[in-house]
Amino acid sequence: MKRLIAKHLAYGYQGKALFNDFSLEVESGEWIVIIGNNGTGKTTLLKLLAGLLPVQTGSVEWWDDQGPLSPKDKAYVGQHEFSEHSAFPATAYEVALSAFTPQLGLFKQPGSVHKNAVKSILEEMGLGEHLHHRLSDLSGGQRQRVFIAKALLSNPKLLFLDEPTSALDAQFTLDLFHRLKARQAKGLTLVMITHDLALAQTVASRIFCLEDNDILRLDDHAIAEELAHRHTHLGGPHEHL
């Protein structure tokens, strides 16, 4: 079934058009990847698709089996969220536990099931020894894992990720993508921005590239050409999933 439907999106600011007339239909269980140079509007597009920015032109809809998708069934992890909250006094455990607030409300306390789920996923994220460390005491990569864990704890049907591995080392990036693939196999739909085209190719259902005023879907030939270009100029093969 269609999980996300975007029709004729156009967006610009300060007299500059980022993209025009972009339409996209995402099936449940797909993994959509968006790449592009800095300043082309990738984050803007992702926020529009997630419903975090008001649409200027066009429309975006989200669906589940019963009708319109509940806001609680969407999760978004921003590119700078892990750094912007670096001085926040809460611990890794408390931040992750807050994933259940929309479900429980402000006045109902999390139960043992919720607390055990938090401990389990933080351990899965390699943070078992940092459960009760404040965010300000964690590295950028560790904070990034906390916010990804929080997003996954909400058990979303649609997950938006903006450069989710920007502060992660290569091994944990591979581990994270394996975990996301496992959740995708159970029906999770993902829309992700990444600079890592080689890794994206191993997981993506479709890859879109933002260029000046346009969004192009990359076919296998275009992906191969771009990877060859990057290999020639940047050097070194990339480990795939």
Higher-scoring residue by pLDDT: 169, 30? 30
- Name the token pair of 113: 């099931």
Per-residue pLDDT reduced to its tens digit, 111-149? 999 999 999 999 999 999 999 999 889 988 999 999 999
For residue 237, pLDDT over 60 is answered with: no
Q: Averaged over 203-219, what is the pLDDT? A: 91
Residue 59, beta-bridge partner list: 7
User: Strand pairing of 16-27 and 57-64?
Assistant: unpaired
> For the chain, what are the domain ranges?
1-69+157-241, 86-156
Q: What does each C-alpha distance from 229 to 163, 222, 226, 232 come to in angstroms?
A: 21, 11, 5, 5
Q: What does the angle CA 123 – CA 29 – CA 44 come to, to the nearest 5 degrees?
A: 85
* Distance between CA atoms of residues 51 and 70, nearest Å: 12
What's the confidence (pLDDT) of residue 44?
95
Which residue, 167, 194, 164, 201, is CA-closest to 179? 164
Give the pLDDT confidence score for residue 236 in this predicted structure. Answer: 47
Give the DSSP letter of residue 6.
Answer: E
- Please state, for a pLDDT cut of 90, what percent of the chain lies above it: 66
Maximum average pLDDT range among 36-40, 103-107, 142-146, 166-170: 142-146
Enter the CATH code of domain 1-69+157-241.
3.40.50.300
Which tokens belong to 162? 């903006």
Q: Which two tokens stand for residue 73?
A: 């069934």
Q: Which of 104, 156, 158, 152 is nearest to 127 (CA)?
A: 152
